[in-house]
Chains A and B, each alone.
Chain A
């Protein structure tokens, strides 16, 4: 199977000014703790449709990102729509749950239930585009985006002349943040070595199996694994990927470092073993920690490869992307691990 696919266009809505930005934003803010909400686009411009009235914030963000990505890609009707989401439409789920408890399961309005389904975003995009094609939603915790990408690779192998709209969406709500705090997953301040920030985002990519003049970057390969039984197993899997792609100190690594001492340990070890400290970067201080944060990392890496530079908010601006390759290495709470290799075109 050919694992290489090409990014024709990408659109990112995040806690940073990434939406409709012409390339990499000049500056981004750093957030080491707290709840990071996405910057909402002006819906009057980007989502001026009657259907938007009933959509929750996450659905609106996601539909905006998806439509803008397709516009950039100049694609009216994608060959497939594939989404990833760790928690789906939380706001609608909470609303319906609260209403059924408050009303003792009587006379409920169905609206929030209708939109709480995990495949709502993929479905709403299909509905707006009148797209009758393959429509999938992966909801596998810290691998929801990676599994959506893998699905896109499978689809493009079966349909090499087609294209895929693939993306990832997740939200942090006051309720989910409160729960993260109680779980000890929310970092108090910069001195705190436990927990991290909490973020969200809606990121979409237009993917195809051939390179073109405007291609942002190519995704060379993905590897994922879950619940490793020991640290040795983690290193064995990482080592296999590194050997397979002859990854060296010339390559840049973008890790999911998030400030939590336990979670960060493995990143430091991998960097020390395989990479040059100058060729490293991080991204979760920009978008926050969430199940599909690697979609933000993928968008960031694609733009870094296109512009051939490392912005100061990611790593050492003096770093040169010598090899033209970026490895994204992430794990979610030590349970789901992913390696995603991107290359310039």
Chain B
């Protein structure tokens, strides 16, 4: 049974870039992806900024090897682009030489197409193009991506709201540890949709300005879209010696806050348990954590709970932390995958990316996130948090290999 899980490939697409290189540049230049919605047709485009991938579906198709077709879900297209990057980065050419799995997360799957279908269907149920509804379920995008990549051994979709792709990565690691797979491409994908945009708006947790995570005057979150995947492997795999190692997944945990369907608890119980258990698995003490890529959505509730958890665990020695959602927006089920990629880039290059637009310290605590880019940092252990609806809390711990 392999004990160590290594990351050998990264793939990312979001509002700040279409691949790892572009994303890294945006992060280094403090260039946000949050702006006016122009691709998604929504009544909220004038009032609510979001972090949109500024490419039409047709343009996204041209970045894949798929034939032209207007019925692909945007969720699938974003996912395919990022998953293929991860596979290429891991220098995996022959899929059959090792047992390969694909575990993808999404919150609403092909809801972007469902909305098109339902607009006609709701007026007359004999109308609506059926090609627009067959991509509705969460598993569709996963299966379509797996088919394009040529993976059919183990394919799974995880949907636990905003912690989904952290959970997909965790499950991938467990499959390898227990000897069921040799390598896994894990992460998640979510496209902007009217459904989720309006959902968060109805909860009154969207910011009408660019969001300010962890700021005392924070007003809410900006929605984002994108996909992020990492390749997990054991060192027993063929050609492992020649691979670039981005880090090791040394710990992970999923817990439940069991407080409220959408809100997080004031005592931060679930968040504390997730971070603590991830460190316990890696046999690390809080003082060994060099950076936390926080969930930090920008909502009053989440950020207070997360700082409460950080304060509770780290006390006198708060490690540098920042939320990169001010760059990427909140990409929901893709967030854990996108932030896993960002955390691994931070660790590999010794960067701590700034928490953009932070101005005022939260009155409840005496500490602040990192607001300026830090370079040449020695980061040996990085925590990445993802907290979701249904009290679903996950932490991933990456360590230098």
- Identify the A interface with B (CB < 8 A): 1, 81, 86-88, 93, 96-98, 100-101, 104-106, 108-110, 113-120, 122-124, 126-127, 129-141, 143-144, 147, 151, 154, 157-158, 175, 178-179, 182-183, 224-229, 291, 335-336
Contact = CB atoms under 8 A, between A and B. Distances in A.
B43 A119 contact: no
Contacts of A115: 261
B216 to A, nearest CB: 25
A45 B330 CA distance: 41
17 contacts: A1-B180, A86-B137, A97-B118, A105-B194, A108-B202, A113-B203, A114-B262, A119-B161, A119-B392, A122-B390, A123-B391, A126-B391, A127-B258, A135-B391, A135-B392, A141-B139, A154-B175
Contacts of A132: 255-258, 269-270, 273
B133 interface: yes
A159 to B, nearest CB: 12
B104 to A, nearest CB: 9
A140 B139 contact: yes
B152 A227 contact: yes
B140 A130 contact: no
Contacts of A93: 195
B293 interface: no
Contacts, number: 183
A183 B114 CA distance: 15
A96 B199 contact: yes
B392 A123 contact: yes
Given A133-B256, A135-B390, A227-B146, 20 more contacts: A81-B256, A87-B137, A100-B198, A104-B43, A113-B202, A118-B161, A119-B159, A124-B261, A126-B391, A131-B258, A132-B257, A132-B269, A132-B270, A134-B254, A137-B159, A139-B137, A139-B139, A182-B126, A224-B154, A227-B152
Contacts of A224: 154
B135 to A, nearest CB: 12
Contact of A97 (B114, B137, B262, B269): B114
A116 B146 CA distance: 26
A157 to B, nearest CB: 6
Contacts of B231: none
Given A100-B198, A151-B171, A114 B389 contact: yes
B159 A88 contact: yes
Contacts of A113: 195, 198-199, 202-203
B156 interface: yes
* Band of interface residues on B: 35 or more
A225 B202 contact: no
A138 to B, nearest CB: 6
Contacts of B255: 132-135
A157 B139 contact: no
A137 B155 contact: no
Contacts of B71: none
A96 B153 CA distance: 36
B146 A138 contact: no
Contacts of B178: 1, 154, 157
Counting from the closest, the 7 A-B pairs by CB-CB distance are: A123-B390, A141-B139, A113-B199, A118-B159, A105-B43, A110-B202, A139-B138
B256 A138 contact: no
Contact of B122 (A101, A120, A122, A141): A101
Contacts of A126: 256, 258, 390-391
- Of B133, B139, B160, which is in contact with the most chain A CB atoms at under 10 Å from its CB? B139
A131 B154 contact: no
B302 interface: no
B369 interface: no
B381 to A, nearest CB: 22
Given A110-B202, A178-B125, A225-B152, A96 B157 contact: no
Interface in B235-280: 254-262, 269-270, 273
A39 to B, nearest CB: 25
A81 B256 CA distance: 10
A213 B54 CA distance: 61
A139 B138 CA distance: 6
Nearest to B269: A132
B133 A141 contact: no
B201 interface: yes
B134 interface: yes
Nearest to B1: A1
Contact of B389 (A104, A119, A229): A119
Given A131-B258, A134-B255, A228-B152, A139 B133 contact: no
B103 to A, nearest CB: 9
A69 to B, nearest CB: 18
